[in-house]
Amino acid sequence: MNWTQQTEAARTWFETLRDRICAEFEAIEHEAGSDARFDYLPWQRHEEGNPDPGGGTRGLMKGKVFEKVGVNVSTVRGSFEAEFAKTMNGVDPDDPRFTATGISLVAHMANPHVPAVHMNTRFLVTGKAWFGGGADLNPPIPYKEDTEDFHARFRAACAAHNPTYYERFSKWADDYFYIPHRGVHRGVGGIFYDHLECADEESFARNFAFTRDVGEAFLDIFPKLVRRRMESAFTPEDKQTQLEWRGRYAEFNLVYDRGTLFGLKTGGNIDAILMSLPPEAVWS
């Protein structure tokens, strides 16, 4: 079937979610006495012989609470390179065309007691169509209460759609967000899912509803965690812990993250792709 209308519906949702998240993060900055706001930079993708390759917008804010937070949305169209096409779900070697739309967010916080976070959701059309995404919490200094509340909110979002989702997708997050050469997880987990296939309009509607609820869960829980910790006192030792932890985060994103690879392999905006890297990190 032709997925044009469904892609447009997903794109509209991702952009609306972006606007709501950015407004909430700016409100937190205002509460902290900061006038920080997001700067938005549109970008256009280029692909030889493709008159409509798409593009996106990089949103970036550096403030008092959010040391660096990026919220990107993009909708791109084109053809995978032959070798990369072999790694992608549902790609016909004789027809490597794709369409992808999504939102990607990474927040690095000024206070080491406030957890960093990652969230993304996406809709891809190749020979098949599917949703993927998730969110995971990355605290330099973990708090059991924060971890439990984050997981509880996504457990509820999953339970509303399928009783098996949370167990499956939380394990997927634990397995995926792992740094093999360090033997450690990147953070305290969350959920991660991929290849929720849409064979028809009914399955699209079902998987799109779940993906929207993942976005709503993030928008509900993460600002609460930020407000809980953003005024906590911290020591130079706490900051050092954060900077060392950020080095691990950078290692994962540059070596193992599939989203980074997808962006680089499909001609995405380099600054938008690498906005996930922390503003400062150390390696001891």
pLDDT, one tens digit per residue, over 70-106 is 999 999 998 888 777 777 777 777 778 899 999 999 9
pLDDT for 32:
98
Q: Is 185 a catalytic residue?
A: no
Check pLDDT > 80 for residue 184. yes
Separation in Å, CA 209 to CA 13, 103, 121, 162, 256? 11, 16, 12, 12, 29
* 7-16, 43-52, 183-192, 213-222: least confident range: 43-52
Binned at pLDDT 50, 70 and 90, residue 174 comes out as very high
pLDDT for 119:
98
Check pLDDT > 90 for residue 142. yes
pLDDT for 47:
84
pLDDT for 96:
84
For 46-72, what is the mean pLDDT? 94
| Residue pLDDT, tens place only, 239-278 | 999 999 999 999 999 999 988 988 887 878 888 888 899 9
Of residues 108, 118, 151, 185, which has the active-site annotation? 118
**Higher pLDDT among residues 259 and 29, named by residue:** 29
pLDDT for 264:
84
HEC readout, the chain:
CCCHHHHHHHHHHHHHHHHHHHHHHHHHHHHCCCCCCCEEEEEECCCCCCCCCEEEEEEEECCCCEEEEEEEEEEEEEECCHHHHCCCCCCECCECEEEEEEEEEEEEECCCCCCEEEEEEEEEECCCEEEEEEEEEECCCCCHHHHHHHHHHHHHHHHCCCCCHHHHHHHHHHHHCEECCCCEECCCEEEEEEEEECCCHHHHHHHHHHHHHHHHHHHHHHHHHHHHHCCCCCCHHHHHHHHHHHHHHHHHHHHCCHHHHHHHHCCCCHHHHHHHCCCCCCCC
**CA-to-CA distance for 197 and 17, rounded, in angstroms?**
22
Binned at pLDDT 50, 70 and 90, residue 188 comes out as very high
pLDDT for 250:
95
| Residue pLDDT, tens place only, 194-251 | 999 999 999 999 999 999 999 999 999 999 999 999 999 999 999 999 999 999 999 9
For 174-200, what is the mean pLDDT? 96
**Higher pLDDT among residues 44 and 262, named by residue:** 44
Residue % of the chain over a pLDDT of 70: 99
Check pLDDT > 90 for residue 127. no
Check pLDDT > 90 for residue 284. no
Q: What is the CATH number of domain 4-276?
A: 3.40.1500.10
Task: Return all residues near 252 (Cβ < 8 A) that are at least 6 apart.
Answer: 177, 179, 186
Mean residue pLDDT of the chain comes to 94
**Higher pLDDT among residues 134 and 47, named by residue:** 134
